[in-house]
Each structure stands twice: as structure tokens, then as C-alpha cells.
Amino acid sequence: MKLRFFLAMLLICPVMVQAEIYKAVDENGHVTYSSTPIKGGKKIILGPLPTMDAPPPASPSGFPRVDGETQRNRDDTRYMILQNELSEEERLLAEAKQNLQEGGANPEVFRGKDGKTYRNVAKYDEKIKALSDQVEQHQRNVDALRTEISKLK
């Protein structure tokens, strides 16, 4: 009977376990923590741990709400805006690809003092790099717009 009472009390009453913590600093500045007393160590007395308040409600009371029809209209407008931006960005991507293709077909040249024509490889590489960067930028924009549109559906 006493054993059952004792077990019931253990289950009902929360048991708080505390360990003593000791801190020691040696001559080299190394810090050692222990749960048993250390020679030259001092007992650390810790205060209670900070607790967090409950998170605020999802939206404060009095926060304006939008009915479903208004939200659908807003979503439709956003969808149309994103579609227009996507069309424009796809046009710019096609134009940038065309410019890159034309730039690759027309190497940079110059005439030397002897009258011969030479290729300016550094200037050509610089031009191709700039055109490639434009293609990559427009491709990233198209991908981002498609991602946004897919989230609306």
C-alpha cells in the first residue's frame, strides 16, 4: 500500500532535478565545468531559465479581412500582371539569344599598320560575355516568373 502511494505521488507531483555545477579555470585560462567538485573550482548558482511567451494570434483582432470574391479578383489581377511580365521577358530572352548568335557570328576585327585584318579576341570575348550574361539574366527572370505563376494555381 505504501509503495503504491509513493509511486502515485511520484506521478502526480512533478519532480525537479537539479545538479550542482562547478567551474575551474587553470593557469593557462582553460575553463573546465563539472558536476562534481573540482580542486580550485567554484560552485555556479544558476537562476531559472528564461521562458517564452505564447506566440501572438495569427492576426490581431480588428485586422481587416477580405472576402473571398475580392481576394479572387486580386489573384486574377496578379495572375494577369505576371503573365504580361512573362510574355515580355520571354520576348527579351529571344531577342538576347538572337543578339548572342549574331555577336558570335561577327568577330571583332581591326586593321594593322600593314593593312592586314586581325581579330581582336579580347574585345570579342568581352562582347560575348556581356551578351551571355544578358541571356542568363532573362532566363532567370523567366524561370522566376513561371515559379510565381505556378504558386497561384
What does the domain layout of the chain look like in residue ranges? 68-152
Kindly report whether the global pTM for this prediction surpasses the value 0.75.
no
Q: Which residues is 25 bridged to in the sheet?
A: 31
* pLDDT score of 14 more than 60: no
Helices (H), the chain: 2-12, 68-105, 121-152
* pLDDT score of 87 more than 90: yes
Q: How much of the chain exceeds pLDDT 70, in percent? A: 87
Tell me what the mean pLDDT of segment 3-30 comes to: 68
Average of per-residue pLDDT values in the chain: 84
Q: Considering only the top CATH level, what class is 68-152?
A: mainly alpha
Q: Taking a C-beta distance cutoff of 8 angstroms, is the pair 110, 118 a contact?
A: yes
